[in-house]
A and B are shown apart, each in its own frame.
Chain A
Amino acid sequence: MSVDKNVVKKISRLARIHVSEERSEMLSSDLGNILNWIEQLEEVNTDGVEPLSGVNEHLLAWRDDTVTDGEITDEVLKNAPEKAGEFFVVPKVIE
């Protein structure tokens, strides 16, 4: 199976990673090879098998829904590439 360049374009858009024309060529063969190899999973009969998302799926504990942290604006903003006052700064999103 191959992953065509339009599919690479679509998933790189979903993943918010810019992919140049040139790289999309290479990626389509790379991803195709990996997915081909993964497709051996089709040999396994999984009829009626419950998917397993994690090994401790039944062990998760309840806790009170209370605030345990907060009032640390400076720390939260400390590593931001751009900030203004108490806010993160992003490119303009409203026309």
Chain B
Amino acid sequence: MSDLLKMTATEARNSLLKKEISSVELLNAYQNAMEKTEALNNYVTTTLDAAKQMAVNADKAYAQGNAGSLAGLPIGVKDLFCTKNIETTACSAILKGFLPSYESTVTSNIWQSGGVMLGKLNCDEFAMGSSNETSIFGPAVNPWSKIDGIDLSSGGSSGGSASSVAAGSALMSLGTDTGGSIRQPAAFCGVVGLKPTYGRCSRWGIVAFASSLDQAGPFTRTVEDSALIFSVMAGHDPKDSTSASLGYTNFSEAVKSGIEGLRIGIPAEYNVDGMDIEISDLWKKGRAWLEQAGAKIVDINLPHTKYALPCYYIIAPAEASSNLARYDGIRYGKRIEAETLDAMYEATRADGFGEEVQRRILIGTYALSAGYYDAYYLKAQQVRRLIKEDFDEAFNDVDAILTPTTPTPAFPLGAEVSDPITMYLNDVFTVPANLAGLPGISVPAGFSNQGLPLGLQLLAPPFEEGRLFSVANAIEKQAEFLLAPARAAGDLQ
């Protein structure tokens, strides 16, 4: 049983092809693991009956020799993806009981390739948060050791997606990343998290937060697995006008390419105040590893880095205030009755949205309101262009950029929740890629003094995910990271 949990997705896929294991056996192992790790609060809805049927179908497909590339692999889904007739809440009270009548394009790609759906995973409410603590279901817990007896945050917003893959209760999972919501929790939990280029994966059927920044991406235990599932997620979708018109690419080949001669940029501005020494040490180590693998290290400048976070905290809330206008108590979700239409709207939204979501809607409304639009929203959009141009210029000289993923390791639950700005600073290294639309990946690469996982981030020019996989693979090989969280369902390596 525990041997089944030890398999990476690629290994499980090969064993399934050779009929050494069956999809049903694999599902049983994961079902058991889900029960064992229930205290981590990763799943908000389980779909094991559907999973059983999907696993049986996958075994049939293997027997007939026409199994898709993810057939039989157990996968968890962030509760932000609409799943047909399966409750989808975005972890918000306002969407409790919502049963989508359609399936998101990304999840439907996964099921068409034979993936087995374990359930819906915990996240921050409407993906707004960096610790999974804004979820109406309570936080997903990090499976690594407690500190001073307090549970650690899984990170956020895709906390359940990261924690489940690290704890062995999902083989792979789906998340979304608007400002770091895949890469930060991946770093906190010690797994691989990929945020693809804006436009690479369809956003159709994903509960919208900030439409010019949102992207779907996978959590996996290895870089190779990331390429396997990403190949299925990516692709043009006529239902998302912002999805790029690119055909199918198999990214698995890219993982194996060497990185000799690749130029890797180290941005000076990412040496921020308050960065833990163990993080900057790991960054230096990563630089040395890539050099040893034959890459050329180049010092670069991204002068507007410092302004990325404040810029993001205008643009994302502005888009959110507009996107979340749809929760009006009329068409779906919760409704608080009142005498007049306006009173009904106001009561419903005050009751249905949590504190952080309300705060962001109000900031966004303020930034977009008459008299403030130019000073805030327009200014932020101008700064956004400067941030993007910094990257355009840097990529004239380098092929990829290496940075830490987060300025600190995972923090105890409750430590940062009272101060919004402290919480926002978690995303200082991840937000720029969203503003510039770039692909980024976080690879587990080492440990803090307290034994918590740390991640390194790689960024590449638009649509160069293949290059990210090659460089990430080089880091993974040399880091020899041991995924062994104290509260895992079993031995994972």
Q: Write the residues of chain A forming the contact surface with B, with a CB cutoff of 8 angstroms.
A: 3, 7-8, 10-19, 27, 30-31, 33-35, 37-44, 46, 49-56, 59-61, 63, 72, 75-76, 78-82, 88, 90-93
Contact = CB atoms under 8 A, between A and B. Distances in A.
A15 B324 CA distance: 10
Contacts of A39: 310
Given A15-B362, A81-B333, 15 more contacts: A7-B366, A13-B346, A16-B349, A27-B359, A27-B362, A30-B420, A31-B359, A33-B420, A39-B310, A51-B385, A52-B384, A79-B333, A81-B332, A81-B335, A91-B338
Given A63-B238, A81-B334, A88-B331, A41 B307 contact: yes
Interface of A is mostly: loop
Contact of B332 (A11, A43, A60, A80): A80
A78 B101 contact: yes
Contacts of B321: 15
B301 interface: no
B178 to A, nearest CB: 13
A90 B244 CA distance: 39
Interface of B is mostly: helix
B61 interface: no
A10 to B, nearest CB: 8
Contacts of A56: 198-199, 242, 244, 437
B313 A38 contact: yes
B478 interface: no
Given A17-B353, A18-B347, A44-B307, A51 B378 contact: yes
B335 A82 contact: yes
Contact of B101 (A51, A75, A93): A75
A30 B419 CA distance: 9
A69 to B, nearest CB: 10
Contacts of B346: 13, 16-18
B329 A81 contact: yes
A90 B344 contact: yes
Given A81-B329, A88-B331, A59 B244 contact: yes
Contacts of B310: 37-41
Given A55-B436, A78-B99, A91-B338, A37 B241 contact: no
B116 interface: no
A3 B359 CA distance: 13
Nearest to A27: B362
Nearest to B357: A17
Contacts of A60: 241-242
Contacts of A90: 330, 341, 344
Contacts of B353: 17
Nearest to A14: B365
A61 B385 CA distance: 22
B350 interface: yes
